């Protein structure tokens, strides 16, 4: 049986070589990024919007059932038809968070501004989606990744300079993968200022909720802060979150000219899987590669809620081109997860 020690040792002390199975997974991903789909015969233009929506809602890219995606069909096809009529790539705007990753161990490990496996697999998903669409529509798709880093600053006090550096590193990865013609960034701080938020926030006072904060909500706030906090602070930040995200949505929606999608479905936005098999937001933790008992390698999202269920470590992957990520996290589920312990563990 595996020990539970591994998951509690600082990442810097657990650097290892990438296992062969993980290296093979990453090499195949790099091959996929280099592949170019043959364009099929053009489909009937009157049917194109429906055909593209059907590609978008395949299990490969969407975790919703066929019945559940129908509520989004009309608005999505309207945008798709708009771009098809112009003979251009269909433009999607995908929210990917505030320009950082939540801490896996708040109070022990800070939030992260590194570019990792989550970003790489997201770009792979986008590339695969474009190639599938090109089977029915030669122009394919293009993506703008929306980074609401002013939200991160105003809600969680995350420095804009640090999220801007994350954006620069992500642009570097997009470049190295040869995807700059298909993917760009829409960074909140490059279009708006804190003054825009403050002017609108003055019209919407923050009113703390009277309801009791749940344990899960408390832990969620802590992981995005990277530290412990009390219930009073959690309630204040939740109230702030409601106002700031509403203002951010208004500002961004007024600027974008494409189909707005999210990693998790909302009443207004359909979902897009950020990594193969995913149904979570990559900014909520770190995407790792899990080796199953059968030897298969699959992506999994590690968060402060589940990281103790895995033996995980960071492995040097800087030699795997063209991504050249500093490291990837490798994980194996523990045969027997450890008993819950106080958050001040280690």
Same domain, yes or no, for 270 and 296? no
Q: Burial, 197: exposed, middle or buried (Cβ in 10 Å; 0-12, 13-18, 19+)?
A: buried
What does each C-alpha distance from 135 to 52, 93, 317 come to in angstroms? 10, 22, 33
Query: Higher pLDDT residue, 145 or 7?
Result: 145
| pLDDT for 90 beyond 70 | yes
pLDDT band at 207 (very low <50, low <70, confident <90, very high): low
- Show Cβ contacts of residue 199 under 8 Å, excluding neighbours closer than 6 positions: none
Instruction: Say what the pLDDT of residue 40 is.
Output: 67
CATH number of the domain where residue 152 is located = 3.40.50
Whether residues 216 and 308 fall in one domain: no
pLDDT, mean of residues 212-241: 91
pLDDT score of 341: 54
Q: Is the pLDDT of residue 308 over 50?
A: yes
- Rounded to whole angstroms, how far apart are CA atoms 152 and 98? 5
pLDDT higher than 90, residue 39? no
Helix (H) or strand (E) run with residue 127 in it: helix 117-133
Q: Would the pLDDT of 208 be above 80?
A: no
- Whether the per-residue pLDDT at 135 is higher than 50: the answer is yes
CB 164 within 8 A of CB 70: no
The stretch 95-110 carries a mean pLDDT of 97
Structure-block tokens of residue 46: 């009157």
- 39 belongs to a structural domain: no
Rounded to an integer, the average pLDDT of 214-232 is 93
The pLDDT value given to residue 5: 37
Whether the pLDDT of residue 157 is over 50: the answer is yes
State the total domains in the chain.
2
The reply to whether 195 falls in a domain is yes
Query: Given a cut of 90, is residue 307 above it in pLDDT?
Result: yes
Helix (H, G, I), strand (E, B) or coil at 53: helix
Pair 321, 193 in one domain: no
Whether residues 176 and 213 fall in one domain: yes
**Band of the pLDDT at 34, cuts 50, 70, 90?**
confident
Same domain assignment for residues 213 and 248: yes
pTM over 0.85: yes
309 and 172 belong to one structural domain: no
Give me the sign of the Cα torsion angle 104, 225, 324, 12: negative
What average pLDDT does the segment 120-133 reach? 96
Average pLDDT over residues 299-319: 94
Q: Is residue 102 domain-shared with residue 14, that is, in the same domain?
A: no
CB 266 within 8 A of CB 64: no
Residue 131 has pLDDT above 60, yes or no: yes
41 in any annotated domain:
no
Q: State the residue range of the domain holding 217.
A: 48-283
Supply the pLDDT for residue 210. Answer: 65
Is the same domain home to 115 and 24?
no
129 to 62, 123, 181: CA distances (angstroms): 11, 10, 15
- Element (H or E) spanning 287, and its range? strand 286-291
| Residues 99 and 185 reside in one and the same domain | yes
175, 292: one domain: no
Q: Which of 283, 302, 321 is the last residue of a domain?
A: 283
Residue after which a domain boundary falls, among 241, 266, 283: 283
End-to-end CA distance of the chain: 21
């Amino acid at each position: 049986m595996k020990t539970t020690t591994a998951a509690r040792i600082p990442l810097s002390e657990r650097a290892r070589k990438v296992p062969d199975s993980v290296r093979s997974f990453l090499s195949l991903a790099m091959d996929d990024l280099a592949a170019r789909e043959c364009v099929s015969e053009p489909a009937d233009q009157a049917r194109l919007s429906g055909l593209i929506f059907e590609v978008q809602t395949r299990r490969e890219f969407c975790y919703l059932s066929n019945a559940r995606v129908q509520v989004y069909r009309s608005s999505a096809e309207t945008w798709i038809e708009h771009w098809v009529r112009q003979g251009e790539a269909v433009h999607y705007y995908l929210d990917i968070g505030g320009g950082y990753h939540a801490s896996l161990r708040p109070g022990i490990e800070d939030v992260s501004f590194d570019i990792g496996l989550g970003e790489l697999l997201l770009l792979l998903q986008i590339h695969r989606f474009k190639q599938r669409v090109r089977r029915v529509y030669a122009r394919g798709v293009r993506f703008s990744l929306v980074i609401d880093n002013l939200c991160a600053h105003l809600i969680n006090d995350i420095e804009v300079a640090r999220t801007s550096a994350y954006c620069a590193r992500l642009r570097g990865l997009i470049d190295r993968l040869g995807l700059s013609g298909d993917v760009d960034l829409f960074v909140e701080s490059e279009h708006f200022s804190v003054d825009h938020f403050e002017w609108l926030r003055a019209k919407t006072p923050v009113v703390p909720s009277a309801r009791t904060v749940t344990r899960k909500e408390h832990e969620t706030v802590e992981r995005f802060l990277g530290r412990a906090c009390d219930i009073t602070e959690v309630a204040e930040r939740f109230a702030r979150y409601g106002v700031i995200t509403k203002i951010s949505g208004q500002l961004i929606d007024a600027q974008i000219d494409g189909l707005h999608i999210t990693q998790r479905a909302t009443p207004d936005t359909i979902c897009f899987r950020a990594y193969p098999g995913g149904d979570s937001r990559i900014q909520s933790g770190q995407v790792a590669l899990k080796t199953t008992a059968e030897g298969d390698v699959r992506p999994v999202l590690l968060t402060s809620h589940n990281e103790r269920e895995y033996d995980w470590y960071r492995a040097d992957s800087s030699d795997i081109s063209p991504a050249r990520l500093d490291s990837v996290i490798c994980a194996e589920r523990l045969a027997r997860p450890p008993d819950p312990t106080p958050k001040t563990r280690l």
